[in-house]
Structure 1
Amino acid sequence: MQFNRLVLAVTLGGLLSACAQTSTPAVTKDQVVEHYADIALAVYRDSLTAAQNLDQAIAALLANPGEQTLTNARSAWLAARVPYQQSEVFRFSNPVVDDWEGQLNAWPLDEGLIDYVTPGYQHELGNPGATANIIASTHLQVGGERLDVTDITPDLLASLNELAGSEANVASGYHAIEFLLWGQDLNGTNAGAGERPWTDYATGKDCTHGNCDRRRDYLQAASTLLIQDLQYMTAQWQAGQDNYRAELTALPAEEGLRRMLFGMGSLSLGELAGERMKVALVANSVEDEHDCFSDNTHHSHYYNEKGISNLMFGTYQRIDGSTLQGPSLLQLVAQQDDQAAANISEQFRTSEQEVYQLVQSAELNKVYFDQLIAADNPEGNQLVQNAINALVEQTRAIELAANTLGINNLNPDTADHEF
């Protein structure tokens, strides 16, 4: 399968990323910031390309609904997550990304806003949109407001995000598309992902669960909006334009480095170790699993980690197999303190390997993240805890890099978690 080959290629590159060259000619802070922007551009370009491939697979599914076309669309979604998850390291310190990201990757979501769900499914208490079922409705009543949802368009979906002020009302983005391709995962902490039938996209008498025409419209609109959003963000990182990249590179280089390091530390600690792993582990909650419909969470976490590693080592393996490499943070650190650079490199290698254990559990043992966090799986719990611990240590390595470069009081975001 194409996705598996892509994962293998990127994974092998990832596990070797710590073999950075620190004996190359001296680099400057300005060069490192410029290369940071180059990596961002490459990651978003790849995310856009993968989303366009997904859109083509969705078009094929809608043109000829069947088991194979649904499988192909799911594979394209999985492949699209590889570059996008590596982009999240740019989120926490670049306002243009953080303000935009929710429309693409917000989670967890109350899927009853979008389509049919099982009776009594878990959702955010007090959320008036939790069972709205846009696909089965032409109008939504939210408080005293009556919303016309007759025509399902990208603009409509964008307007329905955080409906009635609830962050659980997610109408667009990767996870809305994921739900539309897989459906609910009703297996809890047992094996298995969502099992939406291809007949949910059939026409005429073959249609299951009703409203197949609107479900088709919704899936296409969500895919179109995803592409539009990624086109916007790719443009923000183009060189020689009046955009966010120009704003960033016009700042003092120390501020650019601070943004890099703060974003890396915040994703490593508060978001990945905290929101995406610790919350789910402590509560044994599949509702807090990141890619919960597809059981792709192990890859989602690994490529978040890979995105952090990319910036430390100044390298990014593109989806076409080529590698972008340039002036790195680690080189800057090595120019100040060889031992600090060696310690940082070793910790990053260890952390990447620990997070990769989640991938190996899924790929080799067929024990996925939602099974690892089960209350009756102490060995699985420990595997997740090991990854959390490694991410905490990685954050300390990021802080060491910052201190070595004279960037004090980095204070990466903990998302109010204690470690």
Structure 2
Amino acid sequence: MLYGCGLYICTLVLLVKQKYAGGYMRNLLLTSAVVAFSLQAHAVKAPYKNNESLNREVISNYSDLALLNYNDSLQGARALKSEIAKFVKLAKKGSKLASKQYDIVKKTWSLEARMPYGQSEIFRFYNGPIDFEPIDDGVTTYLESINFEGVEGLMNAWPLDEIYIDYVKEDSTAGLVNNRNIKLTKDVLVSMNEREGEKNISTGYHAIEFLLWGQDRSIDTAGQRPYTDYVDGGTAKNQDRRREYLSLLIDLLDDHLSTVTNQWQVGEKNYRTEFLKRDSNSVLTDIFTSMISMAGDELKSERIENAFLLEDQEEEHSCFSDQTINDIYTNALGVKNIYFGDYVAHNSSKSINGKGINDLVAFVNPELDQAITKKFDSLFNNINFFYKKSRNGQVQIGSIETPFDRALTTNKVEIQNIIDDLGSIDELLREAASELGLEIE
């Protein structure tokens, strides 16, 4: 779909009454004094004539948004850490209150911890702090100079092979939890992550998820792991190691999120400082790359379409807790946040409403910006189908009515609508990048 250039020579037409020979005549005066832009043929794209001031506002706001989003995620992880500590203490004592606290822990994982982190995944895909790897290109970046290591694979890797961590229906002695020959420490868990296979996940959100919910064997409910798996003398074996493993996992999550968040702090020698000094077109190319990659390859294809085509709940993102709809919502919201330059924190009253990518797109092609805006509206309207509604029809974000694993067979049309919208957003963002003169690989 091609949207024509929205900028033309601006001319000022003045109707002037001029006295002449006892009467009046109308003269048309044309002036080019207000000409601001280059004339472009309506159907021909042209490289973006940089408005550097606007570019810098967008990039600065993006950096502020990244920091708030990561701080929000860190606050959520620390809330989860606090609730896990309470649960472990109660479970170790064998207190009956452990059951109620277990439910609080799971709710905290689903909402306070996951809802902001899902939005932060938009900061991937361009070798920023979250997924950084050194590149042998003859240029030493700040992160390379401090031997920084990206931690995305330690925080959010999936799908996860349950048998690598703990018991499964088929094997009651499986996993790191039940192997008492392995001493559980943070370093050991990190070293075991993806060892001898990319599904051998030992750390991160989904390892915590599995330890809280256990296997999901039904489309009617999430996993049903009992809290007594953590109580000495309760269900399963090695309850003490399960408590220890869960505690180590949340400590690692705190560590890793802190590491990334620090790279976006203001006024320090870090990634953010280097990021803000880079050429604006290079930075904007990275930003578009992340939006396009998340909307298309990652969310549309990897996280939705694979499970949809296979009708396999094992391919869904948060398969143990049945929170995949929230993953879809927050990943899509991350793209929208960057496009419009907005972020509303989940764990505080803080928010950002600044210059976004939409301001750049509207500057060169307002019709294209309107098309992208409408497609975002359509996308979230289709996602909202899966959430509960209040009596007055208000969508209850976070409260899932129709789980993704059930929808794979019962609501195929509704899932396809989301897939189609994400595909359209992918294409429209690519067109927007082209309008701005950016080359996306």
Deviation for aligned residue 1:171: 0.3
> Is the counterpart of residue 330 in structure 1 residue 362 in structure 2?
no
Aligned positions of 1:20-419 closer than 5 A:
28-65=54-91, 66-79=98-111, 80-98=113-131, 99-119=150-170, 132-139=174-181, 149-150=182-183, 152-164=184-196, 166-187=197-218, 190-203=219-232, 205=233, 207-319=234-346, 320-360=348-388, 366-374=401-409, 377=410, 380-408=411-439, 410-411=440-441
Structure 1, residues 115-137: CA drift from partner, whole Å, max 9, x if none? 1101179xxxxxxxxx8511111
Let me know the Cα RMSD of the aligned residues: 2.0
1:364, distance to aligned residue in structure 2 (A): 8.0
Change (3 A) 1:313 1:26: farther
Q: What secondary structure is seen at the aligned counterpart in 1 of 2:385?
A: helix
Offset of 1:334 from its aligned partner?
1.5
- Alpha-carbon deviations, 1:313-363, whole Å to 9, x = none? 000001223321111111112122222222221122222222333335998
| 1:346 to 1:299, Cα distance in 2 relative to 1, 3 A | same
Task: Please state whether the residue corresponding to 1:28 is helix, strand or coil.
Answer: helix
User: What is the CA distance between 1:386 and its match in structure 2?
Assistant: 0.8
Which digits, 9 at most, give the CA deviation of each residue in 1:227-269, with x for residues without a partner?
Answer: 0000000001112222221222221011111111110000000
Q: Deviations over 1:92-140 (max 9, x none)?
A: 123422242110000001111111101179xxxxxxxxx851111123x
Quick one: structure 1 residues 29 and 58, their matched pair in 2 at CA, closer, same or farther if it must change by over 3 Å? same
CA drift of 1:293 comes to 0.5
Distance in structure 2 (CA, Å) of the matches to 1:213 and 1:120:
19
Deviations 1:164-187 (A, max 9, x none): 2x0000000000000111111011
Distance 2:66 2:109 in 1: 21
Match of 1:9 in 2: none
Tell me the equivalent position of 1:4: none
Select the structure that is richer in strand: 2
Larger radius of gyration: 2
Alpha-carbon distance between aligned partners in 2 of 1:27 and 1:212, rounded to the nearest angstrom: 59
Matched residue count: 358
Task: Give the structure-2-normalised TM-score.
Answer: 0.78
Q: Do the aligned partners of 1:344 and 1:401 also contact (CA within 8 Å) in 2?
A: no
Q: CA deviation at 1:223?
A: 0.5
Higher helix share: 1
Q: Is the 8 A contact 2:230 2:242 kept in 1?
A: yes
> What code does the residue aligned with 1:352 have?
F
Q: CA deviation at 1:400?
A: 2.5
Q: Secondary structure at the match of 2:387?
A: helix
Normalising to structure 1: TM-score of the pair? 0.82
Q: Does the C-alpha gap of structure 1 residues 276 and 360 become closer, same or farther in structure 2, counting only changes over 3 Å?
A: farther
CA displacement at 1:30 relative to structure 2: 1.3
1:364 and 1:253, CA in 2 relative to 1: closer, same or farther beyond 3 A? closer
C-alpha distance in 1 between matches for 2:299 and 2:402: 20
1:41 maps to a residue whose letter is L
How far apart in 2 are the matches of 1:64 and 1:119? 29
**Sequence identity (%):** 36
Q: Whole-Å Cα distance in 2 between the matches of residues 28 and 239 of structure 1?
A: 20
Q: Which amino acid aligns with 1:371?
A: R
| Separation of aligned partners in 2, 1:366 and 1:338 | 37
Q: Flag structure 2 segments of 5+ consecutive residues without an equivalent.
A: 1-50, 92-97, 132-149, 390-396
Distance in 2 (alpha carbons) for counterparts of 1:132 and 1:368: 28
Against the structure 1 CA distance between its residues 394 and 29, is the aligned structure 2 distance closer, same or farther, given a 3 Å change threshold?
same
Tell me the secondary structure at the aligned position of residue 300 of structure 1.
Answer: helix
Tell me the distance in 2 between the aligned counterparts of 1:177 and 1:350.
Answer: 33
SS in 2 for 1:373: helix
2:71 partner amino acid = R
For residue 42 of structure 1, give the secondary structure of its aligned residue in structure 2. helix
1:379-417 deviations in Å (ceiling 9; x for gaps): x11111110000000112211221222213x24xxxxxx
CA–CA distance in structure 2, aligned partners of residues 331 and 73 of structure 1: 41
